[in-house]
Amino acid sequence: MVAGNWIIDHVKTIDVWPQREQLANILGQSQGTGGAPYNVAIDLAKSGAPFPLLAAGLVGNDADGQSILDDCRKHKIDTRWLSKTGKASTSYTDVMTEKGNGRRTFFHCRGANALWKGEGLDFSKTRARILHLGYLLLLDALDEPDARFGVKSARLLAAAQEAGLRTSVDVVSEDSDRFKTVVSPALKYVDYLIVNELEAGKIAGFKTRGADGRIDTVALRHAAGAMLQLGVRDLVVIHFPEGGFARTRKGEDFWRSSVNLPDKQIQGTAGAGDAFAAGMLLGLHEQWELPRSLETAVCLAAACLSHPTCTGGIKPLKTSLALGKKYGYLPPLEPEP
What does DSSP say about strands 253-257 and 243-248: parallel, antiparallel, or unpaired?
antiparallel
Whether residue 87 is predicted with pLDDT greater than 80 in this model: the reply is yes
Predicted confidence band of residue 267 (pLDDT cuts 50, 70, 90): confident
Predicted confidence band of residue 100 (pLDDT cuts 50, 70, 90): confident
**Contact call for residues 135 and 5 (beta carbons, < 8 A):** yes
The C-alpha atoms of residue 225 and residue 85 are separated, in whole angstroms, by 41
Tell me the per-residue pLDDT of 10-20, one tens digit each, with 9 for 90 and over. Answer: 889 999 999 99
**Contact call for residues 131 and 40 (beta carbons, < 8 A):** no
User: Would you state the pLDDT for residue 120?
Assistant: 85
User: Would you state the pLDDT for residue 335?
Assistant: 53
DSSP conformational letter for 81 = E
Tell me the per-residue pLDDT of 116-157, one tens digit each, with 9 for 90 and over. Answer: 999 889 999 999 999 999 999 999 999 999 999 999 999 999
The C-alpha atoms of residue 213 and residue 58 are separated, in whole angstroms, by 38
Whether residue 336 is predicted with pLDDT greater than 50 in this model: the reply is no
User: Would you state the pLDDT for residue 236?
Assistant: 98
Whether residue 282 is predicted with pLDDT greater than 60 in this model: the reply is yes
DSSP conformational letter for 180 = I
- On whether the pTM is more than 0.85, the answer is yes
Helix, strand, or coil (residue 269): coil
Alpha helices by DSSP H, the chain? 36-47, 63-74, 152-162, 197-204, 217-229, 272-285, 290-304, 317-327
Mean pLDDT of 316-321: 98
Predicted confidence band of residue 337 (pLDDT cuts 50, 70, 90): very low
Predicted confidence band of residue 106 (pLDDT cuts 50, 70, 90): confident
Q: Which residues of 280-308 are buried (b: 16+ CB within 10 A; e: fewer)?
A: bbbbbbeeeebeebbbbbbbbbbbbbbbb
Tell me the per-residue pLDDT of 165-214, one tens digit each, with 9 for 90 and over. Answer: 999 999 998 888 899 999 999 999 999 999 999 999 999 999 999 999 99
Tell me the per-residue pLDDT of 215-235, one tens digit each, with 9 for 90 and over. Answer: 999 999 999 999 999 999 999
Mean pLDDT of 301-330: 95
User: Would you state the pLDDT for residue 227?
Assistant: 98
**Residue 259 to residues 263, 267, 275, 307, 308, Cα–Cα distance (Å):** 12, 15, 13, 16, 18
The C-alpha atoms of residue 111 and residue 90 are separated, in whole angstroms, by 5
Identify the H or E element spanning 31.
Answer: strand 26-34
Q: What is the mean pLDDT of the chain?
A: 95
Mean pLDDT of 36-56: 98
Q: Which residues contact 88 (CB under 8 A, 6 or more apart)?
A: 60, 111, 112, 114, 115
Domain 2-8+35-96+108-327 CATH superfamily? Ribokinase (3.40.1190.20)
